[in-house]
Amino acid sequence: MPAQTSSLNGSAFDTFRETYIEINLDHIAHNLHSIRAMCGPQTKIGAVIKADAYGHGALELADTLTENGADLLCVATLSEALALKHQNPAYPVLIMGLTRTQDFDFLIQYDIIQTIDTLSQARELNACALRSQKTARIHLKIDTGFHRIGFPANEKSLEEIAQIAALPGLQIDGIFTHLVLLDDASNAQQFAAFLQMKTRLAQNHITIPCWHIADSIASVDYPEYRMDMIRAGAILYGLKGFHKGSLDIRQALQFKTRINHISTVKAGEGVSYDFTWRAAHDTRIATLPFGYADGYPRSLNGKGMVTIHQKRVPIAGIICMDQCMVDLTDVPEAQLGDEVTIYGDGSDNSLTIQEISQLAGTNKNDIVSRLTRRPPRIYTRGQKPVMVRTMLD
C-alpha cells in the first residue's frame, strides 16, 4: 500500500508519516540578512546551531547560513562540531562549551576552534598541537558573573592568559563572556568587567582580534554590546525574545500533521490514560499521530490546542508517546485526512512557538530544541520542498 503523503511531499520527498516539521529556508536566509543589516559589515555573525540548530537541523541549515553571511558556526559539543566537519571540513566551527582533554586530538585533526577556560587546558591543547606540528585555534571564555564556565575576571586570570598567549602551538582568535540578562544594571556590570579585561590585556600588550558578549537578545536590545561578533541563536530561527530593539525576522518552523482516525465518544465516556478527560456530551474525537516522543511537551495535558480549519481545538486527555486526541466539537466539518497545525507562525490562527512555550511554562528555545529526530523535516525554498530528512537519513 503506498504511503499517504503530506501536502508538501512529492514522490522524491516522502516522509513515510503524516506528522512533519516544515522549515522555511527562505526565512532563515531572510533573518540572516536582517541580522547583517542590523549589525553592519564590521561585526561578525556567529550562527549558533547547537542542539541540532534548535531542532531545525544543523547539517541541513549549515550551507544556507554560511552562504548568507554567517562567519562562524557555533555549537556546544565536540560531537556537534564533528558532525558539521564530516559534512564539510571547510565550515568554520567554534565549540562554545568545554571538551575533554582526551579528545583534543580531534580538535587539531579537524581544525575546530575550542573554548578554553583554564591554563591547564591550554597547555594540554598546546602539547597536542605541537605533537601534530599544527596550530590550535581557541577562544578564551571569561566569567563575568554568570558562574557557568570561564576564567574569573581578575588579575590572576590576566597572568594566566599572558602565559597562554606565549604558547607556540595556540592561536587566540577570540575571547568572550555570556550575559545573565537579569536587568540593565547587571548587564552593564558584566560588560564593564569584560571591557576592564580588554584594557588590562592591552596594557600587557596582548591583543585578541574577536571580542564578543551578545547573544540574540543582547544584540538586538544593546547595540553597544555587539563588539566584534554576535552569537545569534534564537533570532536566526525567527524567535523573538528581545524587548527594546526591533528586528524584522520570520519564524522558520511549523509543526503539522493530519487527522488519521475519528471516533464518537458517548457522554460520560473517557479518553486516553486515566480518563482525565470525559465527554460532557456525545463528542467527535480526532486522533492525531504525534506525541511527546516527537518532542511535544507532555506538560500540555489539559492545556494544549491545535489548529484545524483555522479553529483552535483542545487536546482531549493525556498526550501519549506517539498519538493524542482532540475534541472536534467546534469543528464539525473536520474529516479524516484534514491538515492540522500543531504549532505554526500564527497564520491561519495557529498557535505560535511563543504561545506554546507560555502554555508549557517554558521558553521558546526549549520548545524547539526538544523536537526529536523522529518527526521528518521538510525544507522549503520558494514554498517548494527542496530537501527532506527522515529517520532513514
Q: How far is the CB of 99 from ligand PLP (least distance, A)?
A: 14
- Chain positions 170 to 199 lying near ligand PLP, rule: CB under 6 A, are 178
Length of the chain, in residues: 393
| Residue 274 Cα to chain centre, angstroms | 35
Residue closer to ligand PLP (CB basis): 235 or 328: 235
The alpha carbon dihedral of 189, 194, 199, 200 has a sign of: positive
Q: Can residue 215 be called a binding residue for ligand PLP (CB under 6 A)?
A: yes
Q: Could you tell me if 340 and 308 are in contact, meaning their C-beta atoms sit under 8 angstroms apart? A: yes
What track of x and - describes contact with ligand PLP for positions 97 through 136 (by CB under 6 A)?
Answer: ----------------------------------------
Closest-CA residue to 229 (of 98, 116, 73): 73
For 77-105, b/e burial (b = at least 16 CB within 10 A) is: ebebbbbbbeeeeebbbbbbbbbeeeebe
> Toward ligand PLP, which CB reaches closer, 145 or 304?
145
Q: Binding residues for ligand PLP, how many (CB under 6 A)?
A: 12
Residues of span 228-247 touching ligand PLP by CB under 6 A: 231-234
Quote the CA–CA distance of 61 and 23 in Å, as a whole number: 9
Contact with ligand PLP (CB under 6 A): which of 48, 129, 161, 279?
A: 48
Residues catalogued as catalytic: 50, 273
Residue from 157, 216, 272, 287 binding ligand PLP (CB under 6 A): 216
DSSP strand pairing (377-381 vs 384-389): antiparallel
Identify the three-state secondary structure at position 164.
Answer: helix
Dihedral class, residue 16 (left if φ above 0, else alpha if ψ from -120 to 50, else beta): left
Shortest Cβ 171–ligand PLP spacing (Å): 21
The correct pick among 121, 287, 350, 365 for binding ligand PLP (CB under 6 A) is 365
The minimum distance between CB 252 and ligand PLP, in angstroms, equals 14
The Cα–Cα gap between 20 and 378 comes to 7
Query: Which among 99, 4, 29 has a CA at the least distance from the CA of 252?
Result: 29
Calculate the alpha carbon distances from 62 to 65, 68, 115, 228, 247 in Å. Answer: 5, 10, 21, 22, 22
Cβ at position 355, least distance to ligand PLP in Å: 19
208 lines the binding site for ligand PLP (CB under 6 A): no
The distance of closest approach from Cβ of residue 90 to ligand PLP in the complex, given in angstroms and rounded to an integer, is 23
**Smaller CB distance to ligand PLP: residue 167 or 247?**
247
- The residue nearest ligand PLP at its CB is 233
Residue 367 near ligand PLP by CB under 6 A: no
Q: Which residue in 252, 292, 341, 297 sits closest to 56, CA to CA? A: 252
The one segment of 1-9, 202-210, 213-221, 251-259 that binds ligand PLP by CB under 6 A: 213-221
Neighbours of 252 (CB within 10 A): 28
CB of 107 to ligand PLP, least distance (A): 18
| Residue ranges in contact with ligand PLP by CB under 6 A | 48, 50, 96, 178, 215-217, 231-234, 365
